[in-house]
A and B are shown apart, each in its own frame.
Chain A
Amino acid sequence: QVQLQESGPGLVKPSGTLSLTCIVSGGSISTSDWWSWVRQPPGKGLEWIGEIYHSGTTYYNPSLKSRVTMSVDKSKNQFSLNLTSVTAADTATYYCASLDWDWEGKWFDAWGQGTPVIVSS
């Protein structure tokens, strides 16, 4: 099973852009897995942000779609998240995760440790 590690600034100013990277180790990003971001506001539940395949195909949560961009860098075995025009509501722990799948659905089989991001001036 792969290991995932998020990196990026822990503090972002309101109206700025949140940028995170997830490094994949122990396996290639060019597998059949999808690569995803999930966030969790303090004391709250989990929210799926979106997912990307190594080909570059993406699916985003409609509630965030206008502000989200995901990308894959196969040469570095990593994928990234950009979230623009952030507000305090975007304060959360952000997880990267791998999505395994078959004909019975998709499931998050590996997770990064999570990185807390605070939106504040």
Chain B
Amino acid sequence: DIQMTQSPSSLSASVGDRVIITCRASQRINSYLNWYQQKLGKAPKLLIYAAASLQSGVPSRFSGSGSGTDFTLTITSLQPEDFATYYCHQSYGTPQTFGHGTKVEVK
């Protein structure tokens, strides 16, 4: 299985901060990397697909980058509604696998 290592596992930030979450794959996955946001008790929501494509309707403060094994999700100017848990997801190999999540909390 392809292991997805997210870091940090949690972070504290303030509204307006720039937040960077990283995801490293245990082998090359090209750009087969997606990012999701999950709020407590809700289903995940797609933010970024194919490493860098912004899903329709998602604010432009979210961006993704990377290819191969190292990927980044950046939130510029964190908003109150962005406090949530974020997951990366690889669809290159079977089984598809997720990172363990990064919880973004209020500082």
Residues of A at the B interface (CB closer than 8 Å) are 45-48, 59, 61-63, 95, 97, 99-102, 104-109, 111-114
Write the nearest CB–CB distance from A64 to chain B, whole angstroms: 9
CA distance A109 to B44 in the complex (A): 10
Interface size on B, residues (CB 8 A): 28
Are A105's CB and B92's CB within 8 A?
yes
* CB nearest to B55 among chain A residues: A109
Taken together as a complex, chains A and B put the C-alpha atoms of A47 and B33 apart, in Å, by: 15
Q: Which chain A residues border B91 with CB–CB below 8 Å? A: 99, 101, 105-107
Q: Closest 8 A-B residue pairs measured CB to CB? A: A105-B32, A104-B50, A111-B43, A107-B49, A106-B91, A61-B95, A48-B96, A107-B34
Please indicate the chain A residues that have their CB under 8 angstroms from the CB of B71 in the complex. none
Cβ contact within 8 Å between B46 and A108:
yes
Contacts of A45 in B (CB 8 A): 87, 98-101
What is the minimal beta-carbon distance from B62 to any residue of chain A, in angstroms? Answer: 14
A105-B44 CB under 8 A given contacts A45-B87, A45-B101: no
